[in-house]
Amino acid sequence: MMRDAPISDRVVVYERPQALADIHTHYCPGCTHGISHRLVAEAIDELGLNDRAIIVASVGCSVFSYNYFDIDACEAAHGRAPAMATGLKRVSPDRLVFTYQGDGDLASIGTAEIIHAAARGEPVTAVFVNNAIYGMTGGQMAPTSLPGQKTTSSPFGRSTDIAGFPIRMSEVLAELDGSAYIVRRSLHNVKEIRRAKKAIKTAFKVQMAGLGFSMVELLSTCPTNWGMSASDALTWVADTMVPYYPLGDYRVIDAVKDL
């Protein structure tokens, strides 16, 4: 019967996106960087922008992301990806220019660049992967680490007396008039992953329509440095990170609804 049909006769409902290079990534098992890479690649495929997309890779675990996409790429100095994206977009305004940054890059050393890129209303997109820790350097406290969170540089938990409070970047950037589309999504379950992909696609459309700055913040995991299994890390995102970093649309200008 139909069940015995050879696999070639079956309909492919999910396969590797074209915009993702056929390369094994260096990410740890269960790291959601792989998921966000795939979502970005799927959005590029679906918008047919494979020949026009440029990724500006940042510093952090995502430092090799220029290798992992089959699109044009550029590597920025630590935190300076929005500045480089600004230059690329201004000389080639017909290209899709996006940065792919972690929280140590965007919310720490690169805070000035991201805020001014948004304030200028640069028509670039930032994909902001927030996992509340410095992954590549060995699990130190990040500006986004939660109060009480144990890291290698806060072994007794983040003290707000000494280290202050985490920065909610989406809320900060949503206050700026140059921002057109600022949303926060999470990658902790299948439903939220699907919503995240839709948001990335919308952000790319916002850029191509020239409406202004767009950013999608993705709550992500770091199983290795959190000291958890991959599935426990997803639970930790849902139970601990989402209450501190509420998911939602923080700035969506009216023109976005017409896209």
Partner 1 sequence: MVKGTITIDQDRCKGCELCTGVCPKDVLVMDNDTLNAKGYHPALLQDPDELCTGCAQCAVICPDVCITVYRDPIPAR
* Contact code string over 84-103 relative to partner 1, x by CB under 8 A: --------------------
Least distance (Å) from partner 1 to the CB of residue 231?
5
Compute CA distances 246 → 79, 173, 219, whole Å.
24, 15, 10
Looking at the DSSP bridge assignments, the partners of residue 249 are 183
Q: How far apart are CA 152 and CA 211, in angstroms?
A: 41
- In the complex, the smallest distance separating the C-beta of residue 12 from partner 1, rounded to whole angstroms, is 6
257 binds partner 1 (CB under 8 A): no
Segment near partner 1 (CB under 8 A), from 74-82, 128-136, 190-198, 236-244? 190-198
Three-state DSSP state, 127: strand
Tell me the three state secondary structure of residue 100.
strand
CB of 3 to partner 1, least distance (A): 6
CA angle 198, 146, 154 (to 5 degrees): 135
Give the residue with the Cβ less far from partner 1, 17 or 110. 17
Nearest to 214 by CA among 132, 78, 114, 80: 114
Size of the site for partner 1 (CB under 8 A): 35
- Shortest distance (Å) from residue 45 CB to partner 1: 13
Nearer to partner 1 by C-beta: 32 or 144? 32
Q: Can you tell me the distance from the alpha carbon of 109 to that of 32, in angstroms, rounded to the nearest whole number?
A: 22
Closest CB to partner 1 among residues 13, 91? 13
Asked if residue 37 lies in contact with residue 25, where contact means CB atoms within 8 angstroms, the answer is yes
Shortest distance (Å) from residue 239 CB to partner 1: 15
Q: Using the minimum distance from each CB to partner 1, give the nearer residue, 30 or 110.
A: 30
Closer CB to partner 1, 92 or 189, in the complex:
189
* Among the listed residues 14, 94, 156, 258, the single contact to partner 1 using CB under 8 A: 14
Interacting residue with partner 1 among 97, 115, 129, 193 (CB under 8 A): 193
**Cα(84)–Cα(241) distance, integer angstroms:** 30
Residues 18-47 that bind partner 1 (CB under 8 A): 20, 24-25, 27-35, 38
Nearest CA to 89 out of 122, 49, 111 is that of 122
Q: Which of residues 213-232 bind partner 1 (CB under 8 A)?
A: 223, 229-231
- DSSP output for 115-168: HHHHHHT-S-EEEEEE-SSBTTTTSB--TTPPTT--BTTBTT---HHHH-----
- Interface residue with partner 1, options 142, 173, 234, 247 (CB under 8 A): 234
Cβ atoms 259, 202 nearer than 8 A: yes
CA distance between the termini of the chain: 44
Enumerate binding residues for partner 1 (CB under 8 A). Answer: 2-3, 5, 7, 9-17, 20, 24-25, 27-35, 38, 189-190, 193-194, 223, 229-231, 234
